[in-house]
Structure 1
Amino acid sequence: MSKTVIIIGGGVVGLCTAYYLQKEGCNVTVIDKSTMDAGASYVNAGYLTPSHIIPMAAPGMISTGLRYMFNSSSPFYMKPRLDLDFLKWAWNFKKSSTHKKVAKAIPVIKEINVLSRELFMDIKKSGDLGIFHLERKGLLMLYQTNKMHDHEMEVAEKAKFLGLEVKELGQPELSKIEPDIAINAKGAIHYECDAHSTPSEFMARMKDYLITSGVKILKEQEVLDIDLNRGKQCQVKTTKATYFSDEVVLAAGSWSGNFGKKLKLNLSLQAGKGYRINVEEKTRIKMPAILMEAKMAVTPMKGYTRFAGTMEFTGINHEIRKERIEAIAKGAENYYEGLKISQDDKNAAQCGLRPVTPDGLPYIGKSKKYNNLTIATGHAMMGWSLGPITGKLVSELVCNNQMSMDISSFNPERKF
């Protein structure tokens, strides 16, 4: 007998979950309070990143945040505020930022990212979504200083040990791989294992496919209450109606913590705001890259080049800080000779909120308190990269299928 499932959240994780659940014959409804055309799933860098093996909660990150605390244009900004949830999260973040915990997380992050990259490729091969932009050119880590080179080489050696494809490029090799624009960098580490995409295109195609496949997508309906009836029938009340299901999946991104409170669950999350600038004029940039000193991403997408970056902890809001947009534009112009980002492009910048856990690992799993609730959130900067695998894992949990990987590290009720 097929299950009826309500997914709260229509971002990449929610839609990918709907994709795999409907493949299993489930009756699926996705509910989102937005118009589902903006936010973190639309403004991210579009990376599929097996190379990003270091969790955000790494040694030195808290001291970096403290150093940048009063500089609102810095790449990593924590606004000082007396908020109990934030203070608890920050304390757990500090406790998680040890060499021992990072070393334990690295192989898990690598495994889940590789699995997700292959699922992205499988979706493309299936033809379900038609033709959409997805390329595996790898990712350049561009550095201007020896300090950044040495830092990234440490990561590269770990990546090589785990079997990921990595090369070091000097200036001559860099000129060959990116021949049409001069780059102000000493060289690059090329993670050949990575890929990139155009998020807005993928999201639009996925929504069309899901609707055609019978998935109900309910936009502009804010969820007011969730009643899981002690593990029995679920009841989800929105601003427009009340819906019933066998199971609920919580994939509401940065808002998941608020739902957790309603259900008396301790989902420690903070919203990490990121920004993007799209440049539609030809930039001659062919390769996706991380500009290491500027701590920002560059992605050639379908129809434009995207410049994205920053991690800003200022609570749940969509306020655009102009100084942060300027920092991204200046960072990009400093690396690519002749590049000039117009004021119009900067004025059209958008932001999105990424849900960040204290240890940088996502929450994926069943709640012990409610056997009809599955949690899928907290992916931080890897949300786009991990969308398909998260959806696949959730479908396996809901349908009691064999799991694609061990998910104990992602336990939503883990201790920090």
Structure 2
Amino acid sequence: MGKNILIIGGGIVGLCSAYYLQKEGHQVTVIDKSDITSGASFVNAGYLTPSHIIPMASPGMILKGLKMMFNSASPFYMKPRLDLDFIKWSWYFHKSSTKQKVEKAIPAIKDINIISRELFIAIKASGDLGDFQLERKGLLMVYKTDASYEHEMEIAKKVSFLGLEVNELNKDQLQRLEPNINIDAKGAVHYECDGHTTPTEFMPKMLNYLKSVGVIIKTNETVLDMEVANERITKIISDKTTYQPDSIVIAAGSWSGELSKKLNIKLSLQAGKGYRINVERPTGIRMPAILMEANMAVTPMQGFTRFAGTMEFTGINDVIRKERVLAIANGAKRFYPELEIKQEEIDNAKTGMRPVSPDGMPYIGKSKNYDNLVFATGHAMMGWSLGPATGKLVAEIVDERKTCMNTDLFSPDRKFG
């Protein structure tokens, strides 16, 4: 018999959770504080990235953050602030950034990415959403320096060892893959295992499908409080109504930590803000790429080319820092010298906040505090890539079935340090 499920959060993770829960026969309601037309699920690079096997919390990242702390235009910016949650998160991040913990995380990251990539393919094949962009051109890690090349080749060796497709390209081979625009770079590592999509196409189509099969979507609605009894959440109170679901899924992205506090759960989470510039005219770019020295992503999407990047830890806010947007435009110019991003395109930049756990791994699983609460958040820069796999895992966890992969490393109750 189907359950009454309430999902808090209407981003890619929340909607994919609704997709798989509905298919299992549950009555699903999704509530979101926004109108579900903006945020991280709409401004990301659209990558499906089995190649991204290294979690953000890796050796050297804290030192890099400290070096960049006082440069608000830097790719990795951590604003100094007296915030106890941020201070604790930073310490946990430091404790998680060890070679041993990264090596332990790699197989799990690879597995969930592969599962998610195949689920994207299955969603398209089902016809549920109609047609949408889903391409498998791979991802280029484009480099200018020997240091970047050597760094990426270390990762490429690990990716190849795991059985994923990867190739090394020299300057001429790279240019042959991109014949319509000049690239100023020494070469690239080509992860053929990766794919890409257009988030602003996928999200509305998923929303329309969910509505068509009876999923209730509530927008511009904020959760105010939660009531509990006998280790269960019994009531969710919003600014518009009250819910009494059988199970609750917290998939509220960067707001998940604040929601958890209402349940006296300390979910360590920080908002990592990213930015994007859309160029809605021909650029000649046909291959998704990460421009390594600029720390930014480039994606040819449906009708436009997206330039995205930066990781900014300044708390939850929607402030657009112009210097960070300009850094993306300048980074694109360094690698594509013939490309001119116009001022109007820079002025139309958007931002979104990614939920980042201290070890860079998502929180997917039941809470030990309440037997009807499931977390699905904390995906950092892999939220888009891992949306379908997370949704499938959530459905399996709610139904208390064997999950399609081991989720121990994703436990919301895990300890850091």
Query: Paired residues, what number?
Result: 416
Counterpart AA for 2:32: D
Matches for 1:61-100 after TM superposition, within 5 Å = 61-100=61-100
**Deviation per CA, 1:35-73, whole angstroms, max 9, x where unpaired?**
100000000000000000000000000000000000000
- Determine the structure 1 residue equivalent to 2:201: 201
RMSD: 0.7
- Determine the structure 2 residue equivalent to 1:389: 389
Distance 1:249 1:233 in 2: 11
Counterpart AA for 2:400: N
Q: Residue 6 of structure 1 contacts residue 28 of structure 1 at CA under 8 Å; is this kept in 2?
A: yes
| Residue 288 (str. 1) matches residue 288 (str. 2) | yes
- Determine the structure 2 residue equivalent to 1:242: 242
Distance 2:234 2:26 in 1: 15
Deviation, 1:337, is: 2.7
Deviation, 1:231, is: 4.0
Q: Which runs of 5+ in 2 are unaligned?
A: none
**Deviation per CA, 1:195-246, whole angstroms, max 9, x where unpaired?**
0000011000000000000000000000101224334463111111111210
Matches for 1:236-315 after TM superposition, within 5 Å = 236-315=236-315
Distance 2:234 2:296 in 1: 42
**TM-score calculated relative to the size of structure 2:** 0.99
- Determine the structure 2 residue equivalent to 1:367: 367
- Determine the structure 2 residue equivalent to 1:349: 349
Deviation, 1:401, is: 1.9
Distance 1:365 1:118 in 2: 21
- Determine the structure 2 residue equivalent to 1:229: 229
- Determine the structure 2 residue equivalent to 1:189: 189
Q: Residue 140 of structure 1 contacts residue 189 of structure 1 at CA under 8 Å; is this kept in 2?
A: yes
- 1:7 partner SS: strand
**TM-score calculated relative to the size of structure 1:** 0.99
- Determine the structure 2 residue equivalent to 1:47: 47
Distance 2:234 2:167 in 1: 51
**Deviation per CA, 1:285-336, whole angstroms, max 9, x where unpaired?**
0000000000000000001000000000000001000000000000001101
Distance 1:228 1:119 in 2: 35
Q: Residue 233 of structure 2 contacts residue 370 of structure 2 at CA under 8 Å; is this kept in 1?
A: no
Distance 2:236 2:178 in 1: 51
- Determine the structure 2 residue equivalent to 1:105: 105
| Residue 415 (str. 1) matches residue 415 (str. 2) | yes
Distance 1:394 1:128 in 2: 20
- 1:267 partner SS: coil
Q: Residue 226 of structure 2 contacts residue 233 of structure 2 at CA under 8 Å; is this kept in 1?
A: no
**Deviation per CA, 1:147-166, whole angstroms, max 9, x where unpaired?**
00000000000000000100
Q: Residue 234 of structure 1 contacts residue 247 of structure 1 at CA under 8 Å; is this kept in 2?
A: no
Distance 1:378 1:230 in 2: 27
Once structures 1 and 2 are overlaid, which stretch shifts more, 394-403 or 191-200?
394-403
- 2:374 partner SS: strand
Q: Residue 224 of structure 2 contacts residue 237 of structure 2 at CA under 8 Å; is this kept in 1?
A: yes
**Deviation per CA, 1:347-378, whole angstroms, max 9, x where unpaired?**
00000000000000000000111000000100
**Deviation per CA, 1:67-107, whole angstroms, max 9, x where unpaired?**
00000000000001010000000000000000110011111
- 1:274 partner SS: strand
Q: Residue 252 of structure 2 contacts residue 377 of structure 2 at CA under 8 Å; is this kept in 1?
A: yes
Once structures 1 and 2 are overlaid, which stretch shifts more, 50-59 or 172-181?
172-181
Q: Which runs of 5+ in 1 are unaligned?
A: none
Distance 2:230 2:155 in 1: 45
